[in-house]
C-alpha cells in the first residue's frame, strides 16, 4: 500500500514539485498509482498491459529530469509506440504487439520525466465514442457512474484520470476522442492544432491529418506544460503547425485578451436545413458557460457556420474506413494470414466492407470535402457571411456543447454492428450523439473541453470552445480563467 496518502490532491506539476523538494520519491508516486489501479481498475477496466517492474526500476535507478520528473504516466493503447510497452490497438488481431521502435511522442514524454507503467483502453483502432472492446474482456466504465461510458476513443485515459489513478494521461483525437471522454469524466482536454505534435516515425499523419495525439488532465496548467514539453514537428514531418510563440505555461501567467465568442445551442445544419436542438442539460451547460465568459469580459454573439455536417461526416467515414482497412491489411501481412471472424469487432468488419466500395477518386473527394470544411470555418472566423454576422465581423472562438447528450449508457454504441456508415452517421448513430467535435479534426483547429455542468442525475456535461487555426494560447487562457472561477 502506498505511503503517500495525499497523492490524489495534486496535479502532475504539483507531484513533480514534491519530487524536486524531496518530499516524496518517484518510487512512492508509482506505489501510489499502483495502489489506485488495484483499488479502482477492477471496477472501471481502464488500465491494461502494465509493466510495473520496469517502471519501478526506472523510478529507483534513473536520474530523472524535466518538468514532470518522477510523475506516473499511462499511454493510450493505440499509437504512441514504445519498445517497452506492447500494444493491442483495442483489437484481438493486434493483441500484445511488440514494437521495434519508440515513437517521438513517447520519447518526448520520457524526456519530460514521466515514468510510464502501462496503457489505457481504447475502442478498436479508435472507432467510436465508447470503449467496449472484446480484447479487454469487458467495457471501460465511467468512474463517476459505472452504468455509463467514460467515452472514446481515449476512454481508458479519461476513466483513469477521473478515478484518481494519475493526474494526466496520454490520449489521441481523430473525431472527438479526447474531448468526449473529457466531457463524460469532468476533465480538461485540448485537441491541438493539426500537426502540433509529432506523428513519427511510423507515419506522417493519421486519417488524412484528422487524428492527433493529446492528453487528458485535471488542470489546465498540466496540459500547458505537457504541450510545452512535447509539441513541435519530428524529422520528415509532411507539414508543420504554425510555430508556438513562447511557452504555453508562461502564457497562463498573463491576462488574456477580450474575445468575441460565437455561441451555438443547436447542431450544425444538414442538407441546408437548420440543426437540431441538443439535450436540455447540454444547452444548460452552454448557457452557464456563456454567462461565465461574459462575466469574465468576453463578448458573446449568436452565430452559426453554414456547413453541411452530414456531408462532411460521410467523407470522414470514407477516410476512416479506408484507414481501418489499411491497418488490418498491414497486420494480416505481418501475421501471414487473414484475420479470423472473432478477431475484429463488427463495426470494424463493416468499415472494411465499406472501404471496398470507396474508389481512389472517392477517397480524394472525401479529403477535398475535409479541406473545404477548413476553408468554410476559416472564413467564418474571419467574419465571412457564412456566419450570419456580416462581412468584417470576425470572431475568435466558437462555443458549443461538447456532446449533444449527457454520457451514453454502456451498450448503446457497442461496436458489434456491421453497418459502419449507419453506426457513424445513421439516424441512431454517433453523429447525433457527437455532432460538434469531429468538425475541428477536419479543419485542424484547436478545441478544448471545459468541464462545466452536472445534471440532476449527477452526470457531467462539458462544453467545447474552438479557436482559430494555430491559436491554442487564447483557448488555454480562457480555460484558465474558467478553471479559476
| Residue 269 annotated in active site | no
Neighbours of 212 (CB within 10 A): 26
Which residue ranges form the domains of the chain, and what is each CATH number? Answer: 7-251 (3.90.1300.10), 260-446 (3.90.1300.10)
Q: Is 97 helix (H, G, I), strand (E, B) or coil?
A: strand
Active site residue 177: yes
Q: Look at residue 1 in the predicted model and tell me its pLDDT.
A: 44
Q: How many CB atoms lie within 10 A of CB 291?
A: 11
Q: How far apart are the C-alpha atoms of 416 and 201, rounded to whole Å? A: 32
Distance of alpha carbon 352 from alpha carbon 330, whole angstroms: 13
Q: Which residues contact 249 (CB under 8 A, 6 or more apart)?
A: 221, 224, 225, 228
Per-residue pLDDT tens over the stretch 361-381: 999 999 999 999 999 999 999
Catalytically annotated residue among 154, 177, 219, 434: 177
pLDDT of 245 = 84
Handedness of CA 126, 128, 129, 130 (dihedral sign): negative
Annotated catalytic residue within 91, 103, 150, 153: 153
Residue pLDDT tens, the chain, 485 long = 456 889 999 999 999 999 999 999 999 999 999 999 999 999 999 999 999 999 999 999 999 999 999 999 999 999 999 999 999 999 999 999 999 999 999 999 999 999 999 999 999 999 999 999 999 999 999 999 999 999 999 999 999 999 999 999 999 999 999 999 999 999 999 999 999 999 999 999 999 999 999 999 999 999 999 999 999 999 999 999 999 889 999 999 999 999 999 999 999 976 667 789 999 999 999 999 999 999 999 999 988 898 999 999 999 999 999 999 999 999 999 999 999 999 999 999 999 999 999 999 999 999 999 999 999 999 999 987 555 555 457 999 999 999 999 999 999 999 999 999 999 999 999 999 999 999 999 999 999 999 999 999 999 999 999 999 999 999 999 999 999 88
Residue 462, classified by CB atoms within 10 Å of its CB into exposed (0-12), middle (13-18) or buried (19+), is: buried
How would you label 426-446 residue by residue, b for 16+ Cβ within 10 Å and e otherwise?
Answer: eeebbbebbbbbbbbbbbbbb
Annotated active-site residue 414? The verdict is no
Amino acid at each position: 500500500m502506498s505511503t503517500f496518502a495525499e497523492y490524489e490532491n495534486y496535479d502532475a506539476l504539483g507531484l513533480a514539485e514534491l519530487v524536486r523538494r524531496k518530499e516524496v520519491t518517484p518510487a512512492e508516486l508509482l506505489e501510489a498509482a499502483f495502489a489506485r489501479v488495484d483499488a479502482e481498475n477492477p471496477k472501471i477496466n481502464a488500465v491494461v498491459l502494465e509493466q510495473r517492474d520496469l517502471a519501478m526500476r526506472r523510478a529507483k535507478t534513473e536520474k530523472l529530469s524535466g518538468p514532470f520528473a518522477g510523475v506516473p504516466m499511462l499511454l493510450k493503447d493505440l499509437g504512441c509506440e514504445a519498445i517497452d510497452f506492447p500494444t493491442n490497438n483495442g483489437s484481438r488481431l493486434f493483441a500484445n504487439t511488440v514494437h521495434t521502435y519508440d515513437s517521438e511522442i513517447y520519447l518526448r514524454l520520457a524526456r519530460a520525466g514521466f515514468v510510464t507503467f502501462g496503457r489505457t483502453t481504447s475502442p478498436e483502432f479508435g472507432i467510436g465514442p465508447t470503449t467496449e472492446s472484446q480484447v479487454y474482456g469487458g467495457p471501460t466504465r465511467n468512474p463517476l457512474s459505472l452504468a455509463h461510458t467514460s467515452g472514446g476513443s481515449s476512454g481508458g485515459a479519461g476513466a483513469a484520470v477521473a478515478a484518481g489513478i494519475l493526474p494526466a494521461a496520454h490520449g489521441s483525437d481523430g473525431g472527438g476522442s479526447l474531448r468526449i471522454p473529457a466531457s463524460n469524466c469532468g476533465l480538461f482536454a485540448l485537441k491541438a492544432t493539426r500537426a502540433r505534435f509529432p506523428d513519427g516515425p511510423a507515419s506522417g499523419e493519421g486519417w488524412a491529418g484528422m487524428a492527433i495525439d493529446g492528453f487528458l488532465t485535471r488542470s489546465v496548467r498540466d496540459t500547458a506544460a505537457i504541450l510545452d514539453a512535447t509539441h513541435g514537428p519530428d524529422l520528415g514531418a509532411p507539414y508543420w503547425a504554425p510555430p508556438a510563440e513562447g511557452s504555453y505555461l508562461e502564457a497562463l501567467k498573463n491576462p488574456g485578451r477580450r474575445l468575441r465568442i460565437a455561441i451555438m445551442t443547436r447542431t450544425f445544419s444538414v442538407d441546408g436545413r437548420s440543426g437540431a436542438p441538443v439535450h436540455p442539460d447540454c444547452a444548460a451547460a452552454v448557457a452557464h458557460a456563456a454567462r461565465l465568459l461574459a462575466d469574465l469580459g468576453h463578448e458573446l454573439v449568436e452565430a452559426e457556420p453554414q456547413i453541411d455536417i452530414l456531408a462532411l461526416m460521410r467523407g470522414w467515414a470514407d477516410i476512416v474506413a479506408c484507414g481501418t482497412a489499411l491497418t488490418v491489411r498491414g497486420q494480416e501481412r505481418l501475421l501471414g494470414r487473414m484475420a479470423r471472424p472473432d478477431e475484429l469487432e463488427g463495426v470494424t468488419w463493416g468499415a472494411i466492407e465499406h472501404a471496398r466500395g470507396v474508389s481512389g477518386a472517392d477517397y480524394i473527394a472525401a479529403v477535398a470535402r475535409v479541406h473545404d470544411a477548413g476553408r468554410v470555418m476559416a472564413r467564418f472566423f474571419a467574419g465571412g457571411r457564412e456566419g450570419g454576422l456580416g462581412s468584417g465581423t470576425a470572431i475568435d472562438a466558437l462555443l458549443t456543447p461538447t456532446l449533444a447528450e449527457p454520457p451514453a449508457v454502456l451498450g448503446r454504441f457497442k461496436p458489434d454492428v456491421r453497418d459502419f456508415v449507419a453506426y457513424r452517421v445513421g439516424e441512431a448513430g454517433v453523429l447525433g450523439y457527437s455532432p460538434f467535435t469531429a468538425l475541428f479534426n477536419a479543419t485542424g483547429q484547436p478545441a478544448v473541453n471545459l468541464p462545466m455542468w452536472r445534471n440532476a442525475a449527477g452526470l457531467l456535461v462539458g462544453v467545447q470552445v474552438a479557436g482559430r487555426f494555430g491559436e491554442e494560447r487564447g483557448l488555454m487562457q480562457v480555460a484558465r480563467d474558467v478553471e479559476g472561477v
